[in-house]
Structures are given as structure tokens and as C-alpha cells.
Structure 1
Amino acid sequence: MIKRNITLAVTGLNNTDNPGPGVPFIRGVKESEEFEVRVIGLVYENLEPGIYMEGLCDRIFQIPYPSAGSDELIERIEYIHQQEKIDVLIPNFDAELFSFMKNEERLLKLGIHTFLPTLNQYKEREKNRLPEFGKKYGIRVPSSLNLGSLGQITEMEEKFDYPVMVKGQFYDAYLSGNNEQVKTAFLKISGKWGFPVIAQEFISGTEVNVVALGDGKGNTVAAVPMRKQYITDKGKAWGGITLADEKMMELTRSLIRQTKWKGGMELELIKTKASEYYLIEINPRIPAWVYLAVGAGQNIPEALVKLALGMEVTPMQQYKIGKMFVRYSYDMIVDLEKFAAISMNKEI
């Protein structure tokens, strides 16, 4: 088979203890038998490990944070496109998705393809709207309260028993066992991610996750469930194993069917001792553990690129059960010249 040449731009190369999905996404696409890929890495910081990994990216460009404004971010993408002729752009952070979704048509006119959730899909699954989302789609979700001030903690204490989960609208979650811990978490999160800060009822059970891909028409293109075996203090999976769990799969298919979800997603669930499932979060993009799905037989990164290009994708229904992933730290020795180049020139 003659491979199709494409230029792929990917964000999320921060492969640290709070890893982004960029590196495993690129690994998945590089294993494709249909694409010959030139990879453009898009980074926010000059110490993102993906910059320095040999054989990962062909070029690296620094881009402005979404907080600088959508126009500044998209203008930078247009500059990069003039040099590199990007075919497909895959953003991997919740905080940047809004800018790219809003400018989907603008990018497409340039020939840059994306495959992202609609603005409505993105908004209705936000953490501060999760209870309404659960009611609408018939899924159990924990009760929650949106906190806009420290004064509301009293209201929260009337509603929930300790411990409670305190979460940011984009990232960060702290299990808090008393009033002081809630205050500390509230100040940390609001200072970093703004408001609202979400106080969520704590559900006891096993944390399980599903990585899935919807075609935007209600069909599940791919889905692989796993159980976290090792979790960092940031709540990130450092090890996990694929599961045979038809109930989780049906919940995922039902959600994609009802929402007509477009693009990648991660469902974060708690399975109670009574085998009830509570949806605690929906991440509207591919998660950092997506390479486990590739290893289990579903190359979700490749399928997402195909969907972005309007290609036919056959739904993947089989995956290997009992496949594990284990993350590890690895010291790379790199030359200062590379760091200096990205710091001064904003590109390599």
C-alpha cells in the first residue's frame, strides 16, 4: 500500500508527571500503515519534553497561551501553516479547545482540518454543568455545588459530608477532608483556573476510564475501557489495564449515540461496590493514556486523523483485554543549543 503523505500539527508535548496526550498521539499516528507523517509539535513552554525526544517531531513551534486571546493563537497557527502547510491539527488541552472550535471554519478555509466537538457539546459537559448533563442523558453523576466565594463553603457543608472533591473548571482536583482543606484547595484552584470552583460529592469506589471516539453522527468509532492501577498525587494514571466491561461500553455507546459526540473523549467513572457507575468527568479530547488503546488493538489517533480528513473509518469493536501500560521517568541529555533556539526563535 502506498502511504498518504500528511503534515500533522499536535499540541500537548508536556510529557511530565502531569502528561499531555501529544506524545502518545504522535506515536499512534506514526504506527499507521496508511499515513507517512511529518509532525509539527506545537508547544507553550520551552521545557516540554516532547521538544527534545529524538525522532518524534520534524519541527517545533512555540505558540501563545489561549489566555492571550484566540486571535493571537490562530494568527500564530496561520504563520506556521505558511511555512509547513498543515493538513491536520490536533489540539490536546481542554483550555485551548474553545479557541480552535471557534475558529474551525477559518482554519478549514486555509486547508487545516480538525475534528472537534461542537461548542454545545463542549459546554454542556463542563464540570459545573455535570448534574444537568446526567439528568438529560440518564447517567448517574455525583451532586455538586459551584463555589464563587469562600463564604459558600458553609452552604457546601450543609449539602455534603466530608470528604469532598474540590475541582477546577479545566484541571486540578483535591480530595478535601475538612473546612481548612477545602479553603486551601479553593484558593489554589481559583488562583490558577478562575471560577467557578466545583465542590463535588465524593463517591467511594474504583476509578475506571474509557477513551472513545465519536463520528459526530452518533456512532462509536472506537472505545477502550481501563482501570487505573497507579495514580499520582495529581490524579493521573501512571499505570492501567484494559478491562472486559460491557456495562461501561454500553454507557459509552449510549452517551455518544445521544450526544452525537464528535471527536475524542475520555469518560472518568467511579464503579461502586454495588456495580453502579457514576460519571465524575468528561474530558472533551484524547487522554494521555491513549497509547494503551493503540497497544490493545485500536489505533484511535490514526482514526481521529482519518475522520479529520473526511476519510471512511470502520468502527473498531475488538480490543485485547488485560493489556497494561506503565509510565516511567527517563532522563534525556540534550544540547543547550536546542533549548536556546526554542527560547529565542520560538521555533526549531
Structure 2
Amino acid sequence: MTKTFTQPLVIGVTGLNAIDSPGPGIGVIRALREGLGAGVRIIGLAYESLEPGIYLHQVVDKTYQIPYPAAGTTALTDRLQYIHQQERLDIIIPNFDAELYNFIKISAQLQLMGIRTFLPTHEQLEMRDKVNLSQFGKQHNLHVPADQLIYKADELDKAAENLNYPLVVKGKYYEAQVVQTPEQAKNAFYQLSAKWGTPVIVQQFIKGTEINIAGLGDGKGQAISIIPMRKLYITDKGKAWAGITIEDEALLDLARRFTQATHWKGGFEVEIMRDQENRLFIMEVNPRFPAWIYLTAGAGQNQPATLVKMALGETFEPFTQYQAGKMFIRYAWDHITDVSEFQQLSAFGEL
């Protein structure tokens, strides 16, 4: 352990895009500040100069730009070495699906530098990937909607014949659209493949109640924390804008089964649809904390703060209690800053 909790912990956090489809970074940081107190210094790691979290100085102490995942691991390692020289990072918490492959690949190098992570393996990452989820469900006797991987638009007709309309068309990494007609399906395919590449996933539509579960696995088969949340308000992009923690043993059991099957290490989110027959369908498994992660702190199981302590070597027994009926309601406000801050970040890559 490089530092104790009596000294400032320096934690790098990505996902500062607090927009209408927010990244998890700001929620993670709020939970860290609440759970770790004054002894924490937050270093924002941003990809774009207009990520709002960069300019929220009461949230983020300093921000550095890092290269996009497509730049590869060498570029990322070089940049993190520079940041580490300036800040003496203790821990990095990545919060985007697309960046995890690189961070996992360099985690051993980061460890040698004195920077800890608490991440799944590449094998665990692949196991729950959208393109493999249906097979994962069959292997572990979990309900997953039928799906088909599409590489060309003219494959949509065959998928629709097998799965029937309405369909859910999903991007490789993010975004999903419910489509009712072949024309809508083609439009969704072109939009999502242009943005995220192929394959595009065409999935059976399940009608029901949307529930999300935030979890934290210890890497040995135990779920240390599980918080289920029912969506109360959903944006046109399918994001929860309000939600409430619920008490349901079936949801807790499903999360435990997922963690045991994968030996998941780190944060995760399971997106569930409960159908009219009360079956729980796994729609997606996100390999990091969700944007609504601060609700876990409000409900009594601060998952980001617990992850930090686990990364530093502490061990935990699974949490057994949380508060049901805790709500979150997301809101937007205009933050005023000066163009000089934007110019400084754009020119020098740090603010």
C-alpha cells in the first residue's frame, strides 16, 4: 500500500462527460469524496475538451487529457507516466467500456509504477460482451433475449424473420434503438455501425419493467455489494433520469449468480427486463460502474469507495443491508467558466 488513509489518496477517474447520456465519472467522484472524506485528490482523465466534469473544480482537482483508446496502449502508458510524474497517482478507475481493454492490458505496468487498478480480466470482459451474452446465458441457465449479429444491412431481413418486430438494434459498445419496421431497422443499423463499428446486435424485444443492478465483485466469485434500482424516468436515449432502490431477493440472487459464474473483479451493471411472467431477462452487462452509481452511496453501500479500499488490499465480507426506497433524480444546470480554461486544456492537455 503506497499511502494510508491519513494521507491524500490520488485517484484518476475517467468518464467526465456529464451530459444527457452521462458517463459514470462524476457519480464515482461524488461517492469517493463522500466515502473517503478530505483525504482524497481527484485527477480527471478526459478525452475531449468539452467534458463538463473538467470545469467542475469543486468535483475534480485537476484534469489531464489522455489519448483515445484507438491510439493504443503505448500512447496511453506514455501519457499516464507523465501524469504520474506530476501527481503520484495511487489508483485509476476507468469508466468507459471502450477504454477497458487498454487499461486491463497495461494494468501490470501500472502496478510497477505504483498505480493500482481493480479491473476484470480480458476473459471476463469477453464473457459478458454483447456479442457473447446470449451464449453466456445458455451456459449458465440465465434468461437472455435471443439475438443475431449483423455485419451488413441486407442481413436485417433474416434477423427480423427469426426474431420478429419490434426489435432492439444495439451498437457494439453503446446505444440501442427499438425499431418497428425494416426502414427503421436499416436507419438504426447505419447510425450505430457508423458510430461504433460492426457487428451490430439485433435483439429480441422484451416488454416489461426495466431494472438495473449495480454490483461490485471481488474477483474470487463473491459479490461484495449489490444494489438494484428500478427506473422511474427514462430519456429518449434509454438512460435512467430517475430511479429508486428496490428490495427483491430474486435480483440479488441473479447478481450473485453472475458474479459467481464470471468471478468478476470490479464494478459492473446488469440491465434487466422483468417480463409479464415475472422472468428476469439480462439485456446487457456493463463492465464498469453505471452513471447512477452515487445512489449506492445514498443507499448505504458506497461501491466506488469500497473498490478503492479493495484495490489497496483491504478485504470485505459481502454487504447484507441497504436502504430500499432511496431515489435519485438527475438534473442539468448551466456551469459558467472562462474560455481561457478551455484554451489551456486544448493547448496544453491539462487544467
Q: Give TM-score scaled by structure 2 length.
A: 0.97
1:266 counterpart = 2:269: yes
CA shift for structure 1 position 57? 1.4
Separation of aligned partners in 1, 2:85 and 2:226: 36
1:142 counterpart = 2:138: no
1:122 counterpart = 2:115: no
Separation of aligned partners in 2, 1:219 and 1:34: 27
What corresponds to 2:325 in structure 1? 322
CA shift for structure 1 position 53? 1.1
Q: 5+ unaligned residues in a row in structure 1: which ranges?
A: none
CA shift for structure 1 position 33? 4.5
1:222 counterpart = 2:225: yes
- 1:201-212 aligned within 5 A: 201-212=204-215
What corresponds to 1:243 in structure 2? 246
Q: Partner letter of residue 308 of structure 2?
A: V
Of the three residues 31, 35, 49, the one matched with 1:32 is: 35
- 1:1-348 aligned within 5 A: 3-33=6-36, 36-348=39-351
Separation of aligned partners in 1, 2:315 and 2:133: 33
Q: Partner letter of residue 96 of structure 2?
A: F
Separation of aligned partners in 2, 1:2 and 1:27: 17
Moved more, 69-78 or 115-124: 69-78
Aligned-residue CA RMSD (Å): 1.3
Separation of aligned partners in 1, 2:5 and 2:211: 39
**Is the CA contact 2:147–2:204 (under 8 Å) kept in the aligned structure 1?**
yes
CA-to-partner distance for each residue in 1:211-255, whole Å, 9 max, x for gaps? 000000111110100101111111111000000111000111111
Q: Mark the CA change 1:263 to 1:17 in structure 2 (over 3 Å): closer, same or farther.
A: same
CA-to-partner distance for each residue in 1:36-89, whole Å, 9 max, x for gaps? 101100001111110111311111101111012221122111111111111000
How many residues are paired up? Answer: 348
Runs of 4 or more consecutive aligned structure 1 residues displaced over 6 Å after TM superposition:
none
**Is the CA contact 1:4–1:35 (under 8 Å) kept in the aligned structure 2?**
no
CA-to-partner distance for each residue in 1:109-148, whole Å, 9 max, x for gaps? 1011000011100001110111110011110000000001
Identity %: 48
CA-to-partner distance for each residue in 1:267-309, whole Å, 9 max, x for gaps? 0000012110000100000000001111011110100111111
Does the residue aligned with 1:92 lie in a helix, a strand or coil?
coil
**Is the CA contact 2:208–2:273 (under 8 Å) kept in the aligned structure 1?**
yes
CA shift for structure 1 position 35? 6.8
Does the residue aligned with 2:300 lie in a helix, a strand or coil?
coil
Separation of aligned partners in 1, 2:57 and 2:92: 21
Q: Mark the CA change 1:33 to 1:45 in structure 2 (over 3 Å): closer, same or farther.
A: closer
**Is the CA contact 2:160–2:167 (under 8 Å) kept in the aligned structure 1?**
no
Q: Partner letter of residue 221 of structure 1?
A: I
Q: Give TM-score scaled by structure 1 length.
A: 0.98
Separation of aligned partners in 2, 1:47 and 1:264: 26
**Is the CA contact 2:241–2:330 (under 8 Å) kept in the aligned structure 1?**
yes
Separation of aligned partners in 2, 1:336 and 1:140: 50
**Is the CA contact 1:29–1:35 (under 8 Å) kept in the aligned structure 2?**
no
Separation of aligned partners in 2, 1:33 and 1:150: 49
